[in-house]
Structure 1
Amino acid sequence: MKLHGLEFPENLLYAPDYNLWLREEADASLTLGLSAYGCALYGQIFAFTPKRDGQHIDRDRSFGVVEFAKAASSARSPLSGVLLASNEEVVRRPALINQDCYGAGWLVRLQADDWPAARVGFLSGDEALAAFAERMRLAGFDPDAPGVQALQP
């Protein structure tokens, strides 16, 4: 699925308010990463500093810090759980987030506290696209801005 030239794979769940995607793994853990829209908003990412593996992360609390251009932002978790692993390759090479946000550029893996209950709060397919479209509209997102074009495949 595409929106303003940005990819949103259909096989993922999304937390548009956090600009994150989630993937359910075979071991019942969740992989989280920055969506293409999140990448477009941040621009070139220079660093990702995750919290310590094994730490419990509460919903709306930071699981790490993303540094970009002349600023930094807390990456907030859309659900509570234990941080199982951080993507060490992204810590070493943060440009992977911009290059492959849905693949090699994933950020962290979590074990959710109550995934069946939390899952209903995440969007997929057309619902996710509509939510991102509304966020883009409200933010005055310009898909033709030079920094955004650089992130498009």
Structure 2
Amino acid sequence: MGAVRGCEIPEDLHYNIENNVWVRREDDGTVAVGMTSYAANLAGEIVSYTPKKVGKSVKQDKSCATVESGKWVGPVKTPVGGEVTETNEAVAGNPGLINKDPYGDGWLVKIKPDDWDGESGDLKTGQDALAGFESKMEADGFGGC
């Protein structure tokens, strides 16, 4: 498990650093999408989660869910486009799971990607992701999780 400024950044996931989201390939060919611990820390305690509906098509870098905290409401932009195949019922019942376990039980949606090979090329993993988040946190003036 990697970490940058106290924020966990698992090195085996794929990240869109600019949008502060991660994606994990699942055994069935779908991908799980979620917010990073950095994004969850910036947002504060998440109190609402509204995912796109199952069967809905989402485009790369467009919203796959909307989340709300006491100080922020905004879209979570998917790193890859495709069809939403599953939403997280546990998070629907307890949006705070996004803060408590952003890389585990706090995932947001699962998507069947339209073009994983084409759209995942710019995503960062491992040391590249850690370095990218360090640069982003520096630019954002972020003190740490």
- Percent identity for Structure 1 against Structure 2: 36
Provide the secondary structure at the position in 1 that maps to 2:84: strand
The corresponding residue for 1:37 is 38
Q: Runs of at least 4 residues of structure 1 off by over 6 A?
A: none
Give, as a single letter, the amino acid of the residue that structure 1 aligns with 2:132. A
Q: Deviations over 1:108-143 (max 9, x none)?
A: 101111111112111101100111111111111122
**Cα distance in 2 between the residues matched to 1:108 and 1:59:** 14
Provide the secondary structure at the position in 1 that maps to 2:40: helix
Query: Any gaps of 5 or more consecutive residues in structure 2?
Result: none
Contact 2:82–2:111 under 8 Å retained in 1: yes
Q: Deviations over 1:53-72 (max 9, x none)?
A: 10000122211110011331
What is the number of equivalent residue pairs in this alignment? 144
Provide the secondary structure at the position in 1 that maps to 2:55: coil
The corresponding residue for 2:14 is 13
TM-score (norm 1): 0.90
Provide the secondary structure at the position in 2 that maps to 1:46: strand
Give, as a single letter, the amino acid of the residue that structure 1 aligns with 2:100. Q
The corresponding residue for 2:107 is 106
Give, as a single letter, the amino acid of the residue that structure 1 aligns with 2:39. G
Give, as a single letter, the amino acid of the residue that structure 2 aligns with 1:62. S
**Cα distance in 1 between the residues matched to 2:71 and 2:44:** 11
The corresponding residue for 1:50 is 51
The structure that is helix-richer by fraction is 1
Give, as a single letter, the amino acid of the residue that structure 1 aligns with 2:97. L
Query: Any gaps of 5 or more consecutive residues in structure 1?
Result: 149-153
The corresponding residue for 1:25 is 26
Q: Deviations over 1:78-118 (max 9, x none)?
A: 22111111101101100111111110111110111111111
Matched, 1:135 2:144: no
Instruction: Say which structure, 1 or 2, has more relative contact order (CA 8 Å, 6+ apart).
Output: 2
Give, as a single letter, the amino acid of the residue that structure 2 aligns with 1:139. D
Contact 2:21–2:77 under 8 Å retained in 1: no
TM-score (norm 2): 0.95
**Cα distance in 1 between the residues matched to 2:24 and 2:80:** 13
